[in-house]
Structure 1
């Protein structure tokens, strides 16, 4: 018998929004949650007795080991501190640096230079594409816990086919940055008073950020209280004609993620029925999302992007204006100066393990 079939037999319900998660109400009235990856399981519940009973039943059916409290999973480490659970990939980063002979390199305070301009076509010397792809692939997995490198890793990923010297120098700078920030990652606090259950997001974009095709970089980050839980930095497939239009498109992408998060949290009994807040720094885009029929300049925008207007009109999403200096997603859409970068990194929720001891 497969593990997933066993879980169904034990009256677990498979989440429709995230197929590797199974949930079941226990006799104590709590919700037992199982995260299944191939044959590895994460089990959580408010009741330790419910967890103990479940472990006993599944170990009667399958030969498996109980590794105790979560400490290491898929290359991600978890440290229990007095303030909460700290999730990091320090060992993974050290392995990357050793593999590519950069353990002794000098560190830098930002992962990319301000005003960097990388292009596909150029007269620079080509570099080894295999080595380039290996480094970029390793860094992409690190983005699972390090949103502060999301933009720069996305940038260097565009040049996998024929990388050249400037591209490789940009890759090396990221390695130098992560070498100097080994202790940085994300803290999940045990308790967040007055913020319990509140999930909200930020959405932002640059304009014509790609110098080759003039397409824009859009990004979002969703936070549970003070902690980031979902983030993305991505180049869009369309060319925007104005900053209003590209912000509207970026917010539409964030709205899709918000809808998925809402559905997942409802299945986990973690959310009420109030609309999710999404903060953006463009008032015209907010106005366009609320009243797009009245704007002739929006007629050329692809129909799929008006999904945002649909979500706002159904009151499933609430758009809120935030000041430019409070827009944390800037760190996911453009290169920043060191002071601004560190300020937004702190606001994003990336912290150091040494600060928790």
Structure 2
């Protein structure tokens, strides 16, 4: 597996190529519809998807409804969550005329690729995957779907011919599984798949209001659909420390630094400059600055979300159109795979 440094160097090269030849790339990315998307999603992934789309890169977004039940007994309000995730994507600026949205469960041929792909990996390799290892360490019985989760992700990427996958550093092992599946299939059956490359996110990890990683399941995030008053309340509850003077020191003061970083990403002002401006204002002034920055940054998104929230016919058509396109591509890919494997009868 490439090191983070190697991946960063390659990302710089890919960004240069995107700037001159965006049409040479197809991106696959996506979300599990387990709840509302939050500020961390927007700053870390949604904004990057919009950037790539606007640069001329073809973007595919999977709303991974099958993956909802990898680690839970019930799916919850799956239909409602799919709608909310789609709303968040469109409100962030993704354009369904240029970006394809689809759901796992609506593309049978994609999921059928899981069978031949599973023959290309070992159980030991699956168990070494960080997400699978974390699930195994949690004490909860692991489902077969959870164990094969990395290969399902490979099918997501490879079915549509994506050659670029935006990831964080912690997701590099997932993409390496996809690359291994593509490489092994080609070696065994002939050249069919390109090995997709990682495009590392430039946005660092943002902490939630409790000082841990921002997460839907942890309940420590700021939902994109939250009101400005709710956002202010959530930020007021964020953990800081006992020092009155505000400084940007991620190692020694992670909670304060994460708040500064959040405001920095929203405003474009370096976190060190924001810290100096706040000075001895304490956590109250820090949180006031962060609240203003977040609400100002999200205001256009929230307005677009409000306008789209009543357009159910439009939302259904966006997903139906995306599902039709994904199905056409997946059917072609599965046909090619069957021919390569000698299973075309």
What's the TM-score once normalised by structure 2's chain length? 0.27
Who wins on radius of gyration, i.e. which is larger? 1
Q: Which has the higher helix share?
A: 2
Q: Which has the higher strand share?
A: 1
Higher RCO (Cα < 8 Å, 6 or more apart): 2
What's the TM-score once normalised by structure 1's chain length? 0.26
